[in-house]
């Protein structure tokens, strides 16, 4: 894949890295922020570094979507998303920025059919004084905010048929603390992880998009103990958090990732009445933090990544599990993906899985090759042809960032590879909570 990439010269490569000049639409302070030195290229095997962007001076990047040769990148702390012209992936050009307003985080998004669905919710970090990264992961969302501000809470829908324009055509308000992440590969229904007033944390919310300008909530589903308004009480011990991170779907099955609550399998043949088929939770004994549950329907497998959410391996090793779902009422873990061991990553910050490339329509799709982000261990590529004996076949470890964007104290200065989007020709777009967006070429 990508043989034409080999013709790029070192001089052209350096020009591409340094070609991120300040844009006229950016305020002066943000143009100055673009003077941050371009990081080194990192180290890798079978993955080559092509380019870097600091996203117009807002390098805190999370989810990445691609449409009409433009990238849409959500931010963790900067209250908005950045649009990049990616016609030449070696020379990404920031061409727009959208914000839902102060204290409104829009770090997750979905793109299909020339439409963009955007998660709007509270910028939790800006409304709570966490003294480390674990504060967010070990407390119910409803108990996290101590300094509540005004923000947008709900789902905004945007026409992006004329990039880099984003024309908002609808907003579905969800009173509460807003949306974390969502799944919409196109079609009538979107699967949303949303917090509503009266609930402890994010639950499943299915939205009907039949009339795209008037989206409608058609069902909600949650685990027992989450509906405080109805008198439900949690039995979780201190330091544990049950919340839907998001749900991925395949056909009439939905696979939910519930942080310390594990994996759920649902019958969603009737989206107005999602039915629980089974629940599998490996925490304890494992740390928890289930983040992404990627279905591989052709093989009756789910790849479940547990998000590492403590620095210096303070909670032990987090794993990515291979789950056999041939019998949806009885899912079984059959393997874990190999843990990177070429250096002592535990000593360098947060180490372990974060997310998986989600096999979106239009992107690279495989049920044998899995692309993952591993925080300070960067990008990892796994061969799972033998589901019982996965092996790592490629990796890329990013350099340490020059500075932190994360405002929380006691956070290590370390790489934090967050999300990954893989194109059909093997380009990898990789975000970092603190250190911008890297463009890589997979040479497998």
Identify how many contiguous H helices and E strands the chain contains and give both numbers: 4, 30
pLDDT of residue 408: 86
Which class in CATH covers the domain with range 3-442?
mainly beta
- Let me know how long the chain is: 444
* Distance in angstroms (rounded) separating the CA atoms of residues 246 and 426: 26
Q: Which residue has the tokens 């061969």?
A: 383
Q: Which residue has the tokens 């494992």?
A: 286
* Distance in angstroms (rounded) separating the CA atoms of residues 294 and 438: 23
Q: Is 13 helix (H, G, I), strand (E, B) or coil?
A: helix
Q: Domain spans of the chain?
A: 3-442
pLDDT of residue 125: 86
What is the rounded (10 degree) CA torsion for 297, 417, 338, 251?
A: -10
* Distance in angstroms (rounded) separating the CA atoms of residues 147 and 135: 15
pLDDT of residue 9: 35
For residues 394 and 383, the answer to whether their CB atoms sit within 8 Å is no
- What is the pTM for the complete model shown? 0.90
| pLDDT (tens place) for every residue of the chain, 444 residues total | 433 333 333 333 333 333 333 333 333 333 333 334 445 688 999 999 999 999 999 999 999 999 999 999 999 999 999 999 999 999 999 999 999 999 999 999 999 999 999 999 999 888 887 778 888 888 899 988 888 889 999 999 999 999 999 999 999 999 999 999 999 999 999 999 999 999 999 999 999 999 999 999 999 999 999 999 999 999 999 999 999 999 999 999 999 999 999 999 999 999 999 999 999 999 999 999 999 999 999 999 999 999 999 999 999 999 999 999 999 999 999 999 999 999 999 999 999 999 999 999 999 999 999 999 999 999 999 999 999 999 999 999 999 998 999 988 888 999 999 999 999 999 999 999 999 999 999 998
Q: Which residue has the tokens 């009756």?
A: 300
Per-position b or e across 199-222, b if 16+ CB within 10 A of its CB: bbbbbbbbbbbeeeeebebbbebb
Strands (E), 60-114: 61-67, 70-75, 81-85, 93-98, 104-105, 109-112
pLDDT of residue 39: 54
pLDDT of residue 136: 85
Q: How far separated are the first and last CA of the chain, in Å rounded?
A: 8
Q: Find, among 89, 65, 70, the residue nearest to 161 by Cα.
A: 70
Parallel, antiparallel, or unpaired: how do β-strands 104-105 and 109-112 relate? unpaired
Query: Apex CA 368: angle with CA 282 and CA 321, to 5°?
Result: 10
Q: Find, among 433, 419, 442, the residue nearest to 71 by Cα.
A: 419
Residue 328, burial from CB neighbour count under 10 angstroms (0-12, 13-18, 19+) = middle
pLDDT of residue 128: 83
């Amino acid at each position: 894949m990508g043989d034409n990439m080999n013709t790029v010269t070192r001089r052209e490569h350096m020009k591409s890295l340094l070609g991120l000049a300040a844009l006229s639409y950016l305020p002066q302070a943000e143009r100055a922020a673009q003077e941050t030195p371009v990081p080194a290229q990192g180290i890798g095997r079978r993955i080559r570094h092509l380019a870097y962007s600091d996203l117009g001076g807002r390098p805190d990047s999370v989810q990445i979507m691609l449409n009409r040769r433009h990238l849409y990148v959500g931010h963790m702390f900067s209250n908005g998303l950045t649009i990049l012209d990616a016609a030449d992936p070696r020379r990404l050009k920031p061409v727009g920025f959208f914000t839902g307003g102060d204290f409104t985080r829009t770090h997750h998004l979905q793109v299909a059919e020339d439409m963009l669905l955007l998660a709007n919710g509270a910028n939790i970090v800006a409304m709570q004084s966490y003294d480390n990264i674990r504060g967010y992961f070990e407390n119910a969302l409803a108990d996290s905010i101590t300094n509540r501000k005004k923000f947008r809470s709900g789902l905004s829908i945007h026409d992006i048929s004329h990039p880099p324009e984003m024309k908002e055509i609808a907003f579905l308000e969800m009173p509460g603390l807003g949306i974390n992440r969502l799944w919409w590969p196109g079609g009538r229904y979107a699967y949303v992880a949303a917090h509503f007033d009266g609930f402890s944390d994010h639950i499943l919310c299915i939205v009907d998009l039949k009339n795209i300008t008037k989206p409608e909530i058609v069902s909600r589903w949650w685990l027992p103990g989450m509906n405080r308004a109805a008198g439900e009480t949690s039995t979780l011990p201190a330091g544990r958090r049950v919340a839907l991170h998001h749900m991925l779907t395949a056909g009439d099955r939905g696979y939910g990732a519930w942080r310390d609550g594990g994996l759920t399998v649902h019958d969603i043949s009737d989206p107005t009445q999602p039915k629980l088929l089974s629940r599998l939770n490996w925490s304890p004994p494992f740390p928890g933090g289930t983040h992404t549950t990627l279905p591989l329907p052709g093989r009756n497998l789910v790849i479940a990544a547990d998000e590492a959410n403590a620095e210096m391996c303070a909670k032990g090793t987090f794993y990515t599990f291979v789950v056999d779902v041939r019998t949806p009422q009885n899912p079984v873990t059959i393997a874990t993906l190999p843990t990177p061991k070429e250096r002592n990553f535990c000593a360098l910050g947060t180490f372990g899985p974060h997310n998986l490339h989600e096999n979106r329509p239009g992107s690279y799709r495989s049920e044998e090759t899995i692309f993952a982000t591993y925080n300070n261990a960067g990008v990892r590529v796994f061969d799972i042809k033998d589901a019982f004996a996965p092996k790592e076949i490629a990796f890329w470890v990013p350099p340490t960032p020059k500075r932190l964007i994360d405002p929380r104290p006691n956070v290590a200065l370390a790489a934090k590879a967050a999300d990954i989007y893989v194109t059909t020709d093997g380009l990898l777009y990789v975000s970092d909570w603190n250190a911008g967006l890297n463009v890589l070429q997979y040479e497998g």
